[in-house]
Chains A and B, each alone.
Chain A
Amino acid sequence: MREGDSLRKLSYSLFFLAAACVLLLGPHFLSSYLLHVVILILYFSFLGSAWSIVSGYAGQFSFGHSAFFGVGAYASSLLYMKSGISPWIGMLVGAIMAAGLGGFIGYLTFRYKLKGACFALATFAFSEMLRTVALNWSFTEKAMGILIPLKQGGSFYDFQFTSKLPYYYIILFMVLVVLLVSYSLDHSKLGYYFKAIKEDEEAAGSLGINILKYKIIALVMSAFFTALGGTFYAQYMFYIDPDITFGTSVTIEMIVRTMLGGAGTVLGPLVGSAVLESASEVMRSWLGEYKGLHIMFYAAILILVMIYFPYGLMGLLRKGRR
């Protein structure tokens, strides 16, 4: 028995070592294009995990998360463009602002007991309002959007790099952090309270859980991380506008990958993101650059998964284990 234990410990350690090597050194061997795909997988997985905190774990389905994404993206970009402040600081500022927005939206909606579809629609309305504001405010450059000027040779302070590798390490780190947060949610009082609220609000209340408080906490946490993703996007793509940041596309991207992989699970968003992106790439290489075809394909996958694997791909794995 003891030998089996240490053998298992050894194999786990080797596995982690191998995984660490692959993660840290592997990208050096990838082409720029493939590295871009990997970065996208990690980026979408990050956003998905962020969304999952409030919508997967706490069960409050948000259709307005682009509001937080946009706040993050615009906060860091505007601070940089107008005051030369490093996007790293802007990232933090944006995340805090988004957290505040999350608290505000959360307090309003949860205080008035909005649930399910009504909550989703309310968050949608909020994100559309922000989009309209950004579109009409000269401070945010209206429809023109913000083009982040290239700094020759890249610069850490300016959160710009000439090669994709630094972006990879940054998003990898971000993903690891959010995965750690998800994992600790899975095993902590806070996480159990979220899950109880998702399962049965009334019962949860009768067991001493302050529903309003915890729902707001979930939304605030989720908003914070989502905004970080917004800044990353701005710094990676160099251009943001109201539609890209506050529009429904971002929200849908977050939701789709997480639901495919399994909302409320630690690895769900990552799995969903990897599967979707790979399928997307495969389709792209087979069918060429026909506009929209590869999204049609992954929409079809999504529909099929929702019908046949309602708990996502991770749900399949879990069924096997129990």
Chain B
Amino acid sequence: MSFLEIKNLNKTFGGLTAVKSVTASVEKGEIVGMIGPNGAGKTTVFNLISGTYLPDSGVILFEGENIEGKTDYQVCQKGICRTYQIMKPFNKLTVLENVLVGAFNKIEKKKLAKEFSLDLLNFTGLYSKRNDVASSLTLAEKKSLELARALATQPKLILLDEVMAGLNPKEQSDAINLILEINRKGMTLLVIEHKMKIIMSISNRILVLHYGEKIAEGFPEEVSNHPKVIEAYLGGKDTLA
């Protein structure tokens, strides 16, 4: 039994098929990367797993339990948390309060939740900004906040959506280290990423989506040499570099 399993997942919006018969699995402790050209359906898959969208058909199993059809908050309570491509910080709340909201998912008492949140802020390098209003943060800091907030819910699996977008090389390097550190501590991660070099370097396995379908799956080296994958990216804006 895999940690997370999706079987024949389908989602159509109006006339557009966003996700078609996608089957994949994620093992505990893995970092699985999900790549594909723009519009391939990657974020839709996230939205289906996280409960934001209802699949038209298909099954999602987490730790052996069916979670397709569960609402977003139920999925989070089951142990899957996601971050957003376009970030959604609670702008008028402070950095600490943002994380606190996440912490309350599993911790009832405010004092404990606060301590836990402060630890996480320390871990993600935001401790000094804890009393600053979220809207005042830089892009990289907001990304860290998004991650800290997700971690606060004490998930078993995190869905990261395009974390690297907009970060400079130093910030990217910090982000990579953070992701690897979280993984070392036992977190399973499913990561959407455009920056090929990065995703290839951090993932245990890679899933490739194109026009809503899975066209390849396997170890980074296998995938980068896969004819279908090369074809999908050829001529497109994305490069394998």
Q: Do chains A and B directly touch (beta carbons under 8 Å) in the complex?
A: yes
Chain B's closest residue to A264 (CB) is B92
Question: Whole-angstrom distance between the alpha carbons of A187 and B89 in the complex?
Answer: 19
Q: Given contacts A187-B110, A207-B81, A322-B133, is CB(A196)–CB(B101) below 8 Å?
A: yes
Q: Which residue of A lies closest to B83 (CB)?
A: A206
Q: How many interface residues does A have (CB within 8 Å)?
A: 20
**CB distance B52 to A206 under 8 Å?**
yes
Give per-residue flags for B140-158: 1 if the beta carbon is below 8 A from chain A beta carbons, else 0: 0000000001101100000
- Contact assessment for B71 and A188 in the assembled complex, using a CB-CB cutoff below 8 Å: no
Q: How far is the CB of A115 from chain B (nearest CB, A)?
A: 16
Contact B101 A192 (CB under 8 A): yes
Give the interface segment out of B11-19, B28-36, B72-80, B224-232: B72-80
Tell me whether B90 and A195 are in contact (CB under 8 A): yes
- Interchain CB contact under 8 A, A203 and B90: yes
The residue in chain B whose Cβ has the minimal distance to the Cβ of A202 is B88
With the chains together, A209 CA to B50 CA distance in Å? 13
Whether a CB of chain A sits under 8 angstroms from the CB of B57 is: no
Interface residues contributed by chain B, number (CB under 8 Å)? 31
Residue of A195, A196, A199, A206 touching B72 (CB-CB under 8 A): A206
Residues of chain A contacted by B88 (CB below 8 angstroms): 200, 202-203
Q: Residue A208 at the B interface, CB < 8 A?
A: yes
B91 near A199: Cβ-Cβ < 8 Å: yes
Chain A residues with CB under 8 Å of B196's CB are none
Which residues of B, 74-106, contact A by the 8 Å Cβ criterion?
76-77, 81-82, 84, 88-93, 97, 100-102, 104-106
B90 touches A199 (CB 8 A): yes
B101 and A193 form a contact (CB under 8 A): yes
Q: Is the CB of A195 within 8 A of B50?
A: no
* B73 near A205: Cβ-Cβ < 8 Å: yes
B194, chain A: closest CB distance, angstroms: 22
Q: Which residues of A contact B221 (CB under 8 A)?
A: none
How distant is the Cα of A21 from the Cα of B47 in the complex, in angstroms? Answer: 58
Contacts of A204 in B (CB 8 A): 90, 101
Given contacts A189-B110, A202-B52, A204-B101, A195 and B93 within 8 Å (CB-CB):
yes
Do residues A207 and B93 form an inter-chain contact, with CB atoms below 8 A?
A: no
- Expressed in whole angstroms, the minimum distance between the Cβ of A287 and any Cβ of chain B is 39
Are A193 and B104 touching (Cβ within 8 A)? yes
* B101 with A210: CB separation less than 8 A: no
What is the distance, in angstroms, from A122's C-beta to the closest C-beta of chain B? 22
Complex Cα distance, B92 from A195, in Å, reads 9
Interface status of A211 (Cβ within 8 A of chain B):
yes
Residues of B within 8 A of A195 (CB): 90, 92-93, 97, 101
Can you name the residue of chain A whose Cβ is closest to the Cβ of B134? A199
What residue in chain B is nearest A209 (Cβ atoms)? B73
Verify if B48 is at the interface (C-beta below 8 Å from A): no
Contact indicator B76/A206 (Cβ below 8 Å): yes
Given known A199-B90, A211-B73, contact A206–B133 (CB-CB < 8 A): no
| Min distance, Cβ B148 to any Cβ of chain A, angstroms | 12
Closest residue of chain B to A189, judged by CB?
A: B104
Task: Bits for A48-60, please: 1 = Cβ < 8 Å to B, else 0.
Answer: 0000000000000
C-alpha gap A204/B72 in the complex (Å): 9
- Measured between beta carbons, the chain B residues less than 8 angstroms from A206 are 50, 52, 72-73, 76, 81-82, 84
Say yes or no: A205-B72 contact (C-beta < 8 A), given A192-B100, A192-B104, A322-B133.
yes
Instruction: Add 11 more A-B contacts to A195-B101, A208-B104, A209-B73 (CB < 8 A).
Output: A187-B110, A192-B97, A199-B92, A202-B72, A205-B72, A205-B73, A206-B52, A206-B82, A207-B102, A207-B149, A209-B105
Q: Please, could you name 8 A-B residue pairs with CB atoms under 8 Å apart, sorted by A?
A: A189-B108, A193-B104, A199-B90, A206-B52, A206-B82, A207-B102, A208-B106, A322-B133
Kindly list the 7 A-B residue pairs having the minimum CB-CB distance in the complex, ordered from nearest: A208-B105, A208-B76, A203-B88, A205-B72, A199-B90, A196-B101, A189-B104
